Structure 1
Amino acid sequence: MSDVLAPTGEPPPARARRGGGAARYALNKVGGALLSVAMIVVLGFLLFRALPGDPVQTMTRGRPVSAEQIAELQARLGLDRPLPEQFLRYLGGLLRGDLGVSYTFNVPVTQKIGERIGPTLLLVGVGTVLAVALGLWLGARSAWRRGSRFDKAATGIALTLWSAPTFWLGLLLLSATGGLFPSGGITYPDTPPDFLSQALDTAHHMVLPVLTLVAVVYAQYQLVMRSSLVEEMTADHLLTARAKGLRDDQVRRRHAVPNALLPTVTLVFLHLGLVVSGAITVETVFSWPGLGLLTYEALRGPDLPLLQGTFIVLAGAVVVMNLAADLLYRVLDPRVRAS
């Protein structure tokens, strides 16, 4: 009742200010995300039209076609129209959820993306979970044993793997395993159709792609966790916890690690979209039938509608994950809420 009867001119209650600040913060972030999506749409249209190569020439290569037939095909694909008109047609289709028809596969782009997005989410999901778990564990142990042999070895290996080219690391794993694991695909054609057989075969095919993805990604989480925990170890509340008689393991588990997790949790969301888009190299090396391999196949055309569709999906994933990280950071960090 006192909030309702507050005299005019007095500052609004703190609860109202916090609510209004949260709404403004969310609207600002959502607005920035929508602007980024708009830029992605424009860039996705212009970028691939600057690529060398003619889709019609690629589609008719090795076939006896006349100039009239080539002109007819260009007209059917809409490539004979002025660039502004092509963009308006592309934008109109996008607003209707129509990404066009693939030149290469002759099916709607949305259908092809729907077929390929599952394997990508499976690969990226498993790889991210393992990379986060490994990175957090190694980062916490490295920070708590700062300067030890374990810290130096773990940090050195992480930096080395992080700087290694993804395709080179994948090819190295293929050579090192010597045919122990499949070199491509997601299942063998002769695998029985029951769920258990398919799941085991898929897991067998996932070993090398997941290892490659984890080896490249986990270092980010390890280094950020190590840095955050090293900084947290000098905090006054840890000294108080030790003074109360808590053992080092209890201090680390109950006080240091939970506070040091905040930057890493937001980093997971920030980089999840990048991992999705970065799976292109891994999927290409191991012929994993996901969006990454689909993008590579579209580049060889170039298959403009398919390239535009995969670009929007992969770049949109980065924008969505960045937005989720921004919103989550405000929820987790009281300093952001107070600002």
Structure 2
Amino acid sequence: MVRFLISRLVWAVPVVLVILVFNFVLTRLAPGDPITAIVGEYPAPEAYIAQLREALGLDQPIWVQLWLYLGNVFQGDLGYSFANRQPVLDLIMVRAGNTLALMVPGLILASVLGVVLGRLSLLAQGRFLDNLLTGISLFGYSVPVFWFGQILIILFAVELQVLPAQGMRSLRPDGPVWLDYLAHWALPGFVVTIFYAAIVARVARASLKDAATGDYVLTALAKSGSDRRVFWRHVLPNGLIPIISVIGYNFGLALTGAILVESVFAWPGLGSLFMQSIITRDYATLQGIFILAGASVVFANIITDALYGVVDPRVRHGSHGR
């Protein structure tokens, strides 16, 4: 296991490097540049524009810009955000913490709820409850997040006025800070939970159904006669691999998976920062978000692969690498 983790970490370095280079070039090829966002639509002296380009390093060829940027990244310097007037690393760390405060509780609840729904749907296969749970899963997976979020805001914040519509915290909370956070988290957290729970539930139902039809399950039922014991000892362990895969994928996208949710609920996380950086052409911030998002996906995959061996000892990482 240790050798496997070391080998995957070694391979992760060039993968993250490729992601970094690709996103750098892609960002530079996008229409517009920071100069347009800074100067605006009003005419400005050419000397001033040239001075800005030189200050931001945009007067150099793209390969020179890339080389200088890689050198700074390896020294822990992700650049300076001209739109937010602070170093990119400090800005991203704060925003990433806010995004994780939204996504991690929602993803944990979604993982548990998804497995439970998948199990209940399997037990009620072919009956009304199965159809109901399948319909709920289909709704949670297919409904547009931005539309669902706005409906919740209209219902609970505007009409009923029981929950705040936007933001992460109140300027002057009436009660404890954690209670104020839960009130603000309720609506966006519910949207995140429903969406990802629907994904996990669909995979869990299919995987558990496939595991429950194995001959070893029939043999175990003949020996023990307890459905619950057979499920925990045989069905669930053999059906966990696809479930772990989709949960690991969800957690890998945790830092960027809430872009629409954060935009609707004005949650001050990476998603809203990402949208703002696109509008202002803030190259340094965009690239910093890309690096963090790419690295999180890569390392989430490594952790997921490691869990395969813990759940199912038959998995051989050397011959089943992703």
Query: TM-score over 0.5 for the alignment?
Result: yes
Counterpart code for 1:185: G
Which of 239, 244, 253 is the aligned partner of 1:260? 239
Partner of 1:160 in structure 2? 139
Give secondary structure in 2 for the equivalent of 1:278: coil
Give secondary structure in 2 for the equivalent of 1:334: coil
Partners of 2:124 and 2:228 lie apart in 1 by: 12
Q: CA deviation at 1:145?
A: 1.8
Partner of 1:109 in structure 2? 88
Give secondary structure in 2 for the equivalent of 1:52: coil
Q: CA deviation at 1:80?
A: 1.2
1:185 aligns with 2:167: yes
Larger CA Rg, structure 1 vs 2: 1
After the TM superposition, which of the residue ranges 321-330 and 285-294 deviates more from structure 2? 321-330
Partners of 1:99 and 1:146 lie apart in 2 by: 52
Partners of 2:79 and 2:224 lie apart in 1 by: 67
Partners of 1:183 and 1:39 lie apart in 2 by: 40
Q: Check conservation: 1:117, 1:290, Cα contact below 8 A.
A: yes
Partners of 2:157 and 2:78 lie apart in 1 by: 42
Partner of 1:320 in structure 2? 299
Q: Check conservation: 1:269, 1:321, Cα contact below 8 A.
A: yes
Partners of 2:89 and 2:310 lie apart in 1 by: 35
Over 3 Å counting, the alpha-carbon distance change for 1:28 and 1:263 in structure 2 is: same
Give secondary structure in 1 for the equivalent of 2:314: helix
Q: CA deviation at 1:287?
A: 0.8
Which of 145, 168, 173 is the aligned partner of 2:152? 173
Q: Check conservation: 1:273, 1:317, Cα contact below 8 A.
A: yes
Partner of 1:12 in structure 2? none
1:233-312 equivalences in 2 (<5 Å): 233-312=212-291
Which of 48, 52, 57 is the aligned partner of 2:31? 52
Counterpart code for 2:187: L
Partners of 1:127 and 1:211 lie apart in 2 by: 7
Q: Deviations over 1:284-305 (max 9, x none)?
A: 1111111111111111111000
Partners of 2:232 and 2:314 lie apart in 1 by: 23
Q: CA deviation at 1:31?
A: 4.1
After the TM superposition, which of the residue ranges 133-142 and 41-50 deviates more from structure 2? 41-50
Which of 96, 100, 104 is the aligned partner of 1:125? 104
Give secondary structure in 1 for the equivalent of 2:86: coil
> Normalised by the size of structure 2, how large is the TM-score?
0.90
Partner of 1:227 in structure 2? 206
**Count of residue pairs brought into register by the alignment:** 315
Q: Deviations over 1:208-234 (max 9, x none)?
A: 111111121112211121112111222
Give secondary structure in 2 for the equivalent of 1:276: coil
Partner of 1:79 in structure 2? 58
Q: Check conservation: 1:161, 1:215, Cα contact below 8 A.
A: yes
Partners of 2:224 and 2:53 lie apart in 1 by: 78
> Normalised by the size of structure 1, how large is the TM-score?
0.86
Partners of 2:296 and 2:281 lie apart in 1 by: 23
Gapped runs of 5+ residues in structure 1?
A: 1-18
Counterpart code for 2:80: V
Q: Deviations over 1:112-164 (max 9, x none)?
A: 11221111111111110110111010001111221111111111221232122
Counterpart code for 1:336: V
Give secondary structure in 2 for the equivalent of 1:336: coil
Structural RMSD (CA): 2.1
Gapped runs of 5+ residues in structure 2?
A: none
Q: CA deviation at 1:254?
A: 4.0
Q: Check conservation: 1:143, 1:151, Cα contact below 8 A.
A: yes
Q: CA deviation at 1:78?
A: 0.9
Partners of 1:63 and 1:39 lie apart in 2 by: 38
Give secondary structure in 1 for the equivalent of 2:257: helix
Partners of 2:316 and 2:25 lie apart in 1 by: 39
Partner of 1:330 in structure 2? 309
Counterpart code for 2:125: R
Q: Check conservation: 2:274, 2:286, Cα contact below 8 A.
A: yes
Partners of 1:106 and 1:172 lie apart in 2 by: 35
Q: Check conservation: 1:104, 1:303, Cα contact below 8 A.
A: yes
After the TM superposition, which of the residue ranges 105-114 and 260-269 deviates more from structure 2? 260-269
Counterpart code for 1:249: R
Percent identical among aligned pairs is: 37
